[in-house]
Structure formats: structure tokens, C-alpha cells
Structure 1
Amino acid sequence: MSKDFNEVVDCMLKSDNRYERGAYQFMREALDHTFKSLAKEREMQPNTHISGRELLDGVKDYALSEYGPLAKTVLNAWGVENSEDLGNVVFNLIEHGVFAKSEEDTPEMFKSGLDFEEAFVRPFLPKHAPSSKKPKRKSRGEDN
């Protein structure tokens, strides 16, 4: 009998407490989101492998759609502060039989795969910096 996802996460949290439960749930949902998005673009079988790059793109898309400008804050609250942390979460899920991997998949592929500032902060910054010039104040006696 296989363990359910929550039991597997409980086991992972006992051996590796770097990441909160939410990080694992998020990654599972992000994988589902990625698979569905890719399936719309191309014909995919249910057990089609998703590359690390595709997963990172899906993680970015899913985080932004779910959490908007708070995506980085939410991920950070779960202990996920960079792309390498995403890889650690993925490989914990692989080690516990939740996700599968191909021969090409390695933790190293996640090390610099997604810049969190670029992915989760920059899209919400103003397009143009506000002007530092203050409007001139009229002095007394000037006509309006």
C-alpha cells in the first residue's frame, strides 16, 4: 500500500526540515500546472517527462498566477529562497518516490535556473522611475 502525499511529506520533514510543508504542496501543484500548460501546447501522454527547465518555467508561471507580487515572499516563507532550493524540494520529492526523473535530471540544473528577483519582483516594479524633480512652487506675489 502506498503512502499518501501528506504522509510522504511528514517523512521528508523529519529528515530534512529546511523547507515547510507548503513548499512541497506548491511544487506538486506547480508540476500539475506545468504539465497541463505543456499539454495544451503539444500532445503529451500522462507519463511524459517534464524537463527541469520546463518545470522552472512552470513554477514561475504558477507562483505568479497564484501569489502575484507576493510570490517571492510566500516562497521565502517556506524556506525557498532561490532556484537551488526549488531543486532541493524537487529532489526530495524524487527521493521519496513522488516525482520521477530522467538520466539527464540533476540537482545542478536548478542552481542558476531561475533568478527570483527577475522572476518574482521585477514584473511588479514601476516601468519608469518616478521623477525626482519636485514641481516648482510659486513664490508670493506671482500671478496664478
Structure 2
Amino acid sequence: MDLCMKKGLCFMMPKNLLYIALLGITLFSNYGCVATLLVGGGAGAGTVAYLKGELKSTEEASIGSVWQAAHRAMKDLGFIVTNEEKNNLSAKLIAHGSEDTKIEINLESVSARLTNVKIRVGVFGNESLSRLTLERIKKHL
């Protein structure tokens, strides 16, 4: 009789391989999220990521400067600001364009010269319009 049959190891090996494969799949499927957190968490201004329908960026400018740039960007793109809220630490701007396209821009002050920017187009997001919006905001900074 084979050694693995005596010890009962042959029956456990396929089960262990299944667990190892599932663990590997789980680790690799979450690799992008972990890498984004590591890169985004350690980086400063200039970090841009598009996740779950929302474009996130950190800009090297005060929240007031980014706020003004966001308004100019909306005007450039032909959007009308329909709602806005602002205080010293955060701001929210909602604008609508043709075909009832909605852009929501959220700003959060990180420091006097650093602002987090979050842009969402519609409910599910639109990466190209989000990136165009960010590009226009940067143009006015």
C-alpha cells in the first residue's frame, strides 16, 4: 500500500489544492485594489484613479482655487451649476448639461495647498467625461 494511502494524505491533497487555488484567486482579484490603496495612500498631488464610476484626484491647490476652477470648467463644458455647497474644509458642486447629464464634483481640503477631488458623471459614471472635467479643472488652476 502507498504511503499516502496509509497516512490518509491522498484524500486531503485535492482539498488542500482547492483551498490554495481559492486563496490565490482571492489574492490576485484584490491585487488591483491593494495596489491602488498603496499607491494612492503614499502619493501626494497628481494621483488620479477611476474606481467604481468615480474619478479621484489630489490636486496641489487650495480648496478655494479648485472650487473656482471647477466652476470655470463647468462653464467651458456647457454645464449649468444647479446646486452648490461650500465651507472651509469641503465643497460640493452639481451641474447638469445636455441630455440631462449630471456631473457631481466633491472637494475635500487635505491641507492649505492640497485638495482631494472626486468627480462622478451620472449614476454609473463616465470615465471619459470625468477625465475631461478634471483636465478642464486643472487648466484653470
TM-score over 0.5 (shorter chain): no
Higher helix proportion, which one? 1
Higher strand proportion, which one? 2
Tell me the TM-score normalised to structure 2 length: 0.24
Larger radius of gyration: 2
Tell me the TM-score normalised to structure 1 length: 0.24
Q: Tell which has more relative contact order, 1 or 2 (C-alpha 8 A, sep 6+).
A: 1
